[in-house]
Amino acid sequence: MAEQERKQSRSDSTKEDVVETDIETSAEGEEIAEKIDDILDEIDTVLEENAEEFVKNYVQKGGE
Amino acid sequence: MGLPKVIGTEVEYGIAVRNAPDFNPVMGSSTLINSYAGERARIQWSFDEESPGRDARGFGYEDALPSELDSGLVNVVLTNGARLYVDHAHPEYSTPECSDTREAALHDKAGEVVMARAVARTRELMPADERMFIHKNNSDGKGNSYGAHENYLIARDIPFGSVVRHMTGFFVTRQIFTGSGKLGSENGRGDVDFQITQRADFFEEEVGLETTLKRPIINTRDEPHADSAKYRRLHVIIGDATRAEHQTYLKLGSAALILDALEDGALVEPLLLANPVPSVTAVSHDPTLQTTLELEDGRSITALEAQWQYLEWAKKYVDGGAEEPTYVEVVELWESILTDLEIDPRRTADRLDWAAKLVLFEGYINRDGLPWDDPKLRMLDLQYHDVDPEKGLYSRLVTAGRMARLFSDDEIEGAVNAPPPGTRAYFRGRCVEKYRDALVAANWDSLVFDVGGDALKRVPMMEPLRGSKELVGDLIDQAESAGELLQLLGGE
């Protein structure tokens, strides 16, 4: 999605580099995205180890 | 006023065990449920009245039997009137029948707590390195899906064709607020980095009886668990298991409201999609909400525009005097969610699971430069749904104050233990709690007691709104034994 390109290009720039204009994301939406950084560090501490293996082994039977 | 909307959900949870390559999910689910039910009542579920092969269109498999019938799998009734059991290869929680939409959302949440406690207890029984995980999700990301079904009691005299015409467009477009988000796509659907729902990739028909393959937008299972001359149970299979409280409330509340409006003739004209099945993925695959869907009349409409239309009808209906007390709140919530989705879906990240995930993923991509298919993001995508309050990322977001709450911890705890007051679930739950030794079997529409005579006594409950606290609360308070209760009920 276009949003992805924007985010990825931003991640290449420095933190001081504040995005000035953005027609896709509202100011508030942008603020929410900024604030998420606070919680990423916390999530890093609880994220299951060996993510790749865990995800690979996660196979469910169909249900319903 | 349409029929009071008796509502319940059934959620199949994902189950996995780390470091156990030969793990059997059926055995694991049984262990899980026994861990919770252990010292509690092990009231056996009875299948007398179940007929999942009956079709609302008037035909069906005569010989279709409940899938659990032969397996003798673990299947218990809890003091809150819920059913906790093994279905196929998943642990499943069916909420008690609720008489309002907020209460139904609360009991759906209580199911998560039951699962979390059950899995915590399995850890005391299993080797430390074999950790069990329970996820409230709907897909393993590899083409296997399991359900989160909603049930709404509706009047038998509404022609089923009318339900199909009016509800198809609603269910397809409501995905913008019912999805719990997923990385990638499955089941041969087009490539996408991230999509709104877990389930969209698995829908292949417009109308049908199946739930495990060729899944339909409108499911025709005609098994009301109530007086079938008066009622249908609309069995909705096109929805995600949701963790965000407001989202579950809106999912259940908006559908109940639209069904009520339909029963009262307040939905003027159906919004007919030209291509319902492809529209399911078209909506889910576009988190920007810009995709337009073709209508039968030649117009094109976005899912958001369609939902604004349904909301307008709903508002008119509620303003016209719909009595259900939660509807005013549902309409307000609906409007605020649509307003925020329209400005930027990220504004709903505190109330919708898919938006919460989107913001998390974008945060990681932004900070660490990860691609969308990075295993770490896949892990986040899965762990969001983990019911463990320490490990589950949804729970972490709640703890961090990032998710809006609708229910207090006390309210949820209440629903874990006690039945909702307004339906027959009250009678069922209180009987499990008070007369468990005499209760031989239970199901949705009856209880069977052994009070010492020659024959077992069966109490039928074909009216979902009878057996409420108002009607039987005093009797249960008075009756010291099941025998006394049956006498007081006067052989009802």
Whether B359 sits inside 8 A of A36 (CB atoms) is yes
Minimal Cβ distance to A46: which of B139, B376, B390 = B390
Phi, psi of B267 (to 5 degrees): -95, 105
Whether B343 sits inside 8 A of A29 (CB atoms) is yes
- CB count within 10 Å of CB B394 equals 24
CA of B90 vs chain A CAs: smallest distance (Å): 7
pTM of the model: 0.91
Length of chain B: 492
CA of B483 vs chain A CAs: smallest distance (Å): 38
Whether B147 sits inside 8 A of A55 (CB atoms) is no
CATH 3.30.590 domain extents, chain B: 7-413
Whether B145 sits inside 8 A of A62 (CB atoms) is yes
Active site residues of B: 87
Selection from B99, B114, B110 nearest residue B424 by Cα: B99
Q: CATH fold of B7-413, please?
A: Creatine Kinase; Chain A, domain 2 (3.30.590)
CA gap B332, B335 in Å, rounded: 5
pLDDT tens-digit profile, chain B (492 residues): 567 889 999 999 999 999 887 899 999 999 899 888 765 556 777 766 566 666 666 554 434 434 444 345 788 899 999 999 999 899 999 999 999 999 999 999 999 999 999 999 998 888 888 899 999 999 999 999 999 999 999 999 999 999 999 999 999 999 999 999 999 999 999 999 999 999 999 999 999 998 888 999 999 998 999 999 999 999 999 999 999 999 999 999 999 999 999 999 999 889 999 999 999 999 999 999 999 999 999 999 999 999 999 999 999 999 988 777 899 999 999 999 999 999 999 999 999 999 999 999 999 999 999 999 999 999 999 999 999 999 999 999 999 999 999 999 999 999 999 999 999 999 999 999 999 999 998 999 999 999 998 899 999 999 999 999 999 999 999 999 999 999 999 854
Instruction: Judge whether A11 is closer than 8 Å to chain B, CB to CB.
Output: yes
Instruction: Judge whether B141 is closer than 8 Å to chain A, CB to CB.
Output: yes
First to last CA, chain B: 28
Q: What ipTM was predicted for this assembly?
A: 0.89
Instruction: Judge whether B86 is closer than 8 Å to chain A, CB to CB.
Output: no
Instruction: Judge whether A27 is closer than 8 Å to chain B, CB to CB.
Output: no
Q: How many CA atoms lie within 13 A of B466 on its CB side?
A: 11
Minimal Cβ distance to B383: which of A3, A33, A47 = A47
Instruction: Judge whether B366 is closer than 8 Å to chain A, CB to CB.
Output: yes
CA gap B49, B334 in Å, rounded: 37
User: What angle do helix axes B353-368 and A37-46 make, rounded to 10 degrees?
Assistant: 90
Whether A11 sits inside 8 A of B349 (CB atoms) is no
Instruction: Judge whether A17 is closer than 8 Å to chain B, CB to CB.
Output: no
Residues of chain B neighbouring A54 (CB-CB closer than 8 A): 18, 379, 382
Whether A64 sits inside 8 A of B212 (CB atoms) is yes
Whether B144 sits inside 8 A of A60 (CB atoms) is yes
Residues of chain B neighbouring A11 (CB-CB closer than 8 A): 365-369
Q: What is the pLDDT of residue B88?
A: 84
Residues of chain A neighbouring B378 (CB-CB closer than 8 A): 51, 55
- Pairing mode, if any, of strands B83-87 and B90-94? antiparallel
Which residue type sits at B72? G
pLDDT tens figures, A15-44: 334 334 344 556 665 666 667 888 999 999
Higher pLDDT, A38 or A9: A38
